[in-house]
């Protein structure tokens, strides 16, 4: 019989084991110290939230936005604000992965950035829920928009100009820079996990695969294997089972930027064959004429080429990429999206 999983293994910094044993939890009151949470812009401020209380009478589910292996996401309202509500379910195939997915979402619970989907509250108990036995927890998040970057790339007739690609890339890398400054690696960055707000701003979401790096993770003899995530965007070192580093997200960003520029799928064919080719033969998506026909395209090709290098240490960091993108916008007169 397997040993019990230490509860602290799944808790982000600031969560104690005694706190998580309570019926509900919210990331806006740490160890009894109250914090006021408010959305910016059109959202009104919410009242003080108790650490162990989610006000269920104020939460209303509206439409189902999507569902996957670890749960479903709904559009809803909380204290009159439009929110997204993620209900994480227990996976019958991989209970450990579903638990990790829930707690990994809370790696960003106390972080605030314009390009990161904000967490409003979280709970491990859902009263009067007919699916309670299958529900691992619920996370209330900022509602970041109806459209994902994936939809914008593949299901939108509107042209995706180079200026759009640069602005979207700036938003994504700005979010990554912020995450990486807190030693958080996303590990599943892809167009489907980037939302576009009504103002045209990209926000990184879905942190179910994220990991808070520690000194132990950086020790050569300690392997942190991440089997979750999307194989087409997973860095080759992760495919080999090596340590996860911040540079894994840089590789994923390169694939995402390539998708924005080409509006094509990065790989085709058998999954195992693709993964083997990426690791053993350094296979990458092909640069088409889209990159060759202009000086801007050529420079973006250079950025992508540097970001998806096989050796993580040879890839630039998020701050360096952001500086380059800002320079390209200024040099070529590409206006920011308002």
Fold of 147-332: Transferase(Phosphotransferase); domain 1 (1.10.510)
Average pLDDT over residues 226-233: 77
Active-site residue set: 188
CA pair distance 117, 113, nearest whole angstrom: 8
Strands 59-68 and 211-212: unpaired
Average pLDDT over residues 320-326: 97
Nearest alpha carbon to residue 296 among 158, 161, 157, 153? 161
Most confident of 59-63, 219-223, 248-252, 287-291: 248-252
- Given a contact cutoff of 8 angstroms between Cβ atoms, the answer to whether 52 and 133 are in contact is no
- Which residues sit in the known binding site for ATP? 87
- Which residues sit in the known binding site? 87
162-181 vs 247-262: helix axis angle to the nearest 10? 170
Domain ranges of the chain: 56-142, 147-332
CATH of domain 56-142: 3.30.200.20
- pTM equals 0.82
The mean pLDDT value of the chain amounts to 80
Condensed to tens digits (0 to 9), the pLDDT of residues 255-296 reads 999 999 999 999 999 999 999 999 999 999 999 999 998 999
What per-residue string of b and e applies to 162-173 under the rule 16 or more CB within 10 Å gives b?
Answer: bbbbbbbbbbbb
Most confident of 56-60, 100-104, 296-300: 296-300
pLDDT bracket for residue 66 (50, 70, 90) = confident
Most confident of 1-10, 36-45, 226-235, 273-282: 273-282
| C-alpha neighbours within 13 Å on the C-beta side of residue 271 | 5
Condensed to tens digits (0 to 9), the pLDDT of residues 167-195 reads 999 999 999 999 999 999 999 999 999 99
């Amino acid at each position: 019989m397997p040993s019990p999983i230490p509860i602290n293994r799944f808790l982000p910094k600031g969560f104690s084991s005694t706190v998580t044993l309570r019926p509900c939890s919210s990331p806006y009151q740490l160890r009894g110290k109250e914090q006021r949470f408010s959305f910016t812009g059109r959202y009104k401020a919410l009242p003080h939230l108790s650490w162990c209380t989610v006000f269920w009478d104020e939460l209303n589910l509206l439409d189902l936005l999507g569902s996957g292996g670890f749960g479903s996401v709904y559009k809803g309202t909380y204290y009159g604000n439009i929110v997204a509500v993620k209900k994480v379910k227990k996976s019958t195939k991989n209970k450990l992965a579903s638990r990790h997915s829930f707690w990994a979402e809370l790696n960003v619970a106390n972080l605030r950035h314009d390009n990161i989907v904000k967490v409003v509250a979280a709970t491990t108990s859902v009263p009067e829920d007919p699916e309670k036995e299958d529900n691992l927890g619920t996370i209330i998040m900022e509602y970041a928009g109806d459209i994902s970057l994936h939809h914008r790339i593949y299901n939108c007739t509107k042209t995706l100009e180079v200026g759009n690609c640069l602005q979207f890339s700036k938003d994504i890398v700005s979010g990554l820079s912020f995450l990486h400054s807190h030693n958080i690696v996303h590990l599943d960055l892809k167009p489907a996990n980037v939302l576009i707000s009504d103002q045209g701003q990209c926000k990184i979401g879905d942190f179910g695969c994220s990991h808070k790096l520690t000194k132990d993770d950086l020790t050569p003899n300690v392997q942190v294997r991440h089997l979750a995530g999307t194989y087409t965007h997973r860095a080759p070192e992760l495919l080999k089972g090596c340590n996860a580093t911040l540079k894994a997200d840089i590789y994923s960003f390169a694939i995402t930027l390539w998708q924005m520029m080409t509006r094509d799928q990065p790989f085709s064919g058998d999954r195992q064959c693709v993964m083997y080719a990426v690791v053993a033969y350094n296979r990458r998506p092909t640069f088409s004429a889209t990159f060759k026909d202009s000086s801007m395209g050529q420079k973006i090709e250079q950025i992508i080429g540097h970001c998806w290098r096989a050796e993580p240490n040879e890839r630039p960091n998020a701050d360096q990429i952001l500086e380059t993108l800002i320079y390209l916008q200024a040099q070529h007169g590409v206006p920011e999206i308002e």
